[in-house]
Amino acid sequence: ANIQDELGRSVCQELGTKNISYVHCDVTCEPDVQNAVNLAVSKYGMLDIMFNNAGIPGDNEVRVTHAAKDFKRVFDVNVLGGFLGAKYAARVMFLFKKGCILFTASLASKISIGLPHAHKASKHAVAGLTKSLSVELGEHGIRVNCISPNGIVTPAFQKVIGNFDKKKGEEMFAVSAVLEGTVLDPEDFAHAALNLASDEAKFISGVNLPVDVAYSVSNQSWKMGFAALSE
């Protein structure tokens, strides 16, 4: 489910299986979200997992005087979109007394980094929504978690930060990583989501899982301090 129809259909063709299908879905449009869930149920008979992964960073502007219109747009996609996904997924999962709902938060939901206010605030909201829903929906056998990855050098990330070379972006993350030389890629993120959605994580709910090799629990500024002393 996406708004990039050509890309969505090409992914289905590339995978080449009848077990995957594509549907146009603007997550800020409630009928679109409802239709996506209904399509999944009509084709597969039930809904086991709902992964609310849609998100936008908004304009690359870190001043509080920035336009409120952009702030609202980011919240509509990142928070309202996820809420609507959970709403319609839960209605189906209630019937089976089981299910897993996932959200994509961000490292920005755990530490303050130089990203736009709208992005950071929206990801904090996603983490809060995860906790709130995990309590309500847990009574119906539904688990709810979110994932907070470190930066991944995707085309969207490059566009927001500045159209630099992908290799340079990866070098930036590798230098600042706590686990020396590591660079997060989309597959690492996907594996985390797959694990949380699996039965192996049946006792995990209400968690904001960092996928950042300890970056969010480490203050790297001490290195700068020691570097200044050695000058």
> Which comes out higher in pLDDT, residue 17 or 63?
17
Percent of the chain surpassing pLDDT 70 = 83
What pLDDT is attached to residue 227? 62
- Asked if residue 31 belongs to a domain, the reply is no
Taking CA atoms, 219 is separated from 33, 59, 108, 137, 225, in Å, by 40, 27, 14, 35, 11
Is the pLDDT at 20 greater than 80, yes or no?
Answer: yes
Q: What is the secondary structure of 120-139 as a DSSP string?
A: HHHHHHHHHHHHHHHHHHHT
Nearest residue to 182 via CA among 218, 146, 139, 129: 218
Tell me whether residue 204 is exposed, middle or buried, using C-beta atoms within 10 angstroms of its C-beta: 0 to 12, 13 to 18, 19 or more: middle
For residue 141, tell me if it sits in a domain.
Answer: yes
CATH code of the domain containing 75: 3.40.50.720
Task: Give the model's pLDDT for residue 208.
Answer: 97
Provide the pLDDT for residue 183: 77
Q: Range of 199's domain?
A: 46-152+185-215
What kind and span of H or E run contains 34? Answer: helix 30-44
3-state secondary structure of 156: helix
**CA–CA separation, 6 vs 204, rounded Å?**
36
| pLDDT of 133 above 90 | yes
* Structural domain contains residue 160: no
Q: How far is CA 120 from CA 78, 93, 187, in A?
A: 10, 30, 23
Tokens 């409120």 correspond to what residue?
68
**Domain-located, residue 57:** yes
Q: Look at residue 147 and tell me if it is in a domain.
A: yes
Say what the pLDDT of residue 180 is. 73
Residue 205 has pLDDT above 80, yes or no: yes
pLDDT band at 203 (very low <50, low <70, confident <90, very high): very high
pLDDT, mean of residues 12-36? 93
In a domain, 208, yes or no: yes
104 occurs within a structural domain: yes
Write down the pTM of the prediction.
Answer: 0.87
The answer, yes or no, to whether residue 10 has pLDDT greater than 80, is: yes
- Tell me, what's the pLDDT at 156? 66
Provide the domain count of the chain. Answer: 1
- For residue 72, being part of any structural domain is answered with yes
Asked if the model's pLDDT at residue 60 lies above 60, the reply is yes
pLDDT digits (tens, 9 = 90+) for 88-116: 999 999 999 999 999 999 988 998 877 78
Whether the pLDDT of residue 225 is over 80: the answer is: no
pLDDT in tens, 35-57: 999 999 999 999 999 999 999 98
Give 139-182 pLDDT, tens digit per residue. 999 999 999 998 776 666 666 666 567 777 667 676 667 777 77
